[in-house]
């Protein structure tokens, strides 16, 4: 069963609402590939318009007494297998309260079985370090455009489905970027959300940031 957005991050949200001197630093690590790293039209990097920074800004507005670090450990071009290999060194070393994992776009080249193993290793490691985990389904790319052939569309759909299943099996949070983007695309074109063939523009990143922000609702 998926974690409940209303209560899964409640201990972190309670900490974000606490005033000085009783408050503490809250660390959120965004792990993944080029999208959280901030790549727009490669090789251009615009991290200030990517969802980790947009999330940081939104959290600062929502919790004005909080000390929040949003740390990006993402690397462009990487799959979850490489991300899992460095997870302890580059993610857990920050003692995160929350970890987001976003590898769905690149994992099509890795395959479902290997990706499942890598994602599960990161989920288990994060939970073992007492971090809450938010899994992100992939943001869209041009294979998801209207009229694309099914063989182009299917791999991304398959990886998104596997990520949803992992979230349910491990009872962690699911941020369904793919579904949110599809909903917002209903009255427009996919290109409205893309800066390049497989990277979201600011509008696409806003969709992801808003989906993430749902998990940080004050009670």
On the question of pLDDT at 7 being above 80, the answer is yes
C-alpha to C-alpha distance for 169 and 124, rounded to whole angstroms: 12
For residue 142, the model assigns a pLDDT of 87
For residue 143, the model assigns a pLDDT of 86
pLDDT-above-70 percentage for the chain: 96
Q: Which domains does the chain have, with CATH numbers?
A: 10-216 (3.40.50.1110)
pTM over 0.75: yes
- DSSP structure string for the chain: -PPPTTTTTHHHHHHHTPPTTT--EEEEEEEESHHHHTBSSTT-B-GGGSHHHHHHHHHHHH-TT-EEEEEE---TT--HHHHHHTHHHHTGGG--SEEEEE-TTGGGGT-HHHHHHHHHHHHHHHHHTT-EEEEEPPPP-GGGSTT--HHHHHHHHHHHHHHHHHHHHHT-EEE-HHHHHHHHGGGS-GGGGBSSSSSB-HHHHHHHHHHHHGGG---
Each residue of 18-62: pLDDT tens digit?
Answer: 999 999 999 999 999 999 999 999 999 999 999 999 999 999 999
On the question of pLDDT at 186 being above 70, the answer is no
On the question of pLDDT at 91 being above 90, the answer is yes
């Amino acid at each position: 069963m998926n974690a409940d957005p209303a209560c899964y991050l409640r201990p972190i949200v309670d900490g974000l609402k606490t005033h000085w001197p009783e408050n503490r630093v809250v660390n959120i690590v965004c792990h993944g590939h080029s999208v959280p790293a901030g790549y727009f039209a490669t090789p251009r990097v615009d991290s200030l318009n990517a969802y980790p920074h947009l999330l940081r800004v939104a959290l600062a507005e929502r919790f004005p007494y909080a000390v929040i670090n949003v740390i990006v450990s993402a690397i462009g071009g990487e799959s979850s297998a490489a991300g899992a290999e460095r997870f302890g060194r580059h993610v857990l070393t920050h003692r995160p309260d929350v970890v987001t994992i976003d590898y769905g776009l690149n994992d099509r080249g890795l395959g479902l079985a290997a990706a499942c193993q890598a994602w599960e290793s990161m989920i288990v490691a994060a939970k073992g370090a007492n971090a809450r985990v938010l899994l992100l389904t992939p943001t869209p790319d041009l294979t998801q455009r209207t009229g694309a052939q099914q063989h182009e569309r299917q791999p991304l759909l398959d990886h998104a489905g596997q990520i949803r299943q992992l979230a349910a099996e491990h009872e962690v949070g699911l941020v369904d970027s793919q579904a949110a983007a599809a909903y917002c695309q209903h009255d427009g074109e996919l290109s409205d959300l893309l800066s390049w063939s497989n990277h979201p523009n600011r509008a696409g990143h806003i969709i992801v940031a808003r989906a993430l922000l749902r998990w940080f609702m004050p009670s």
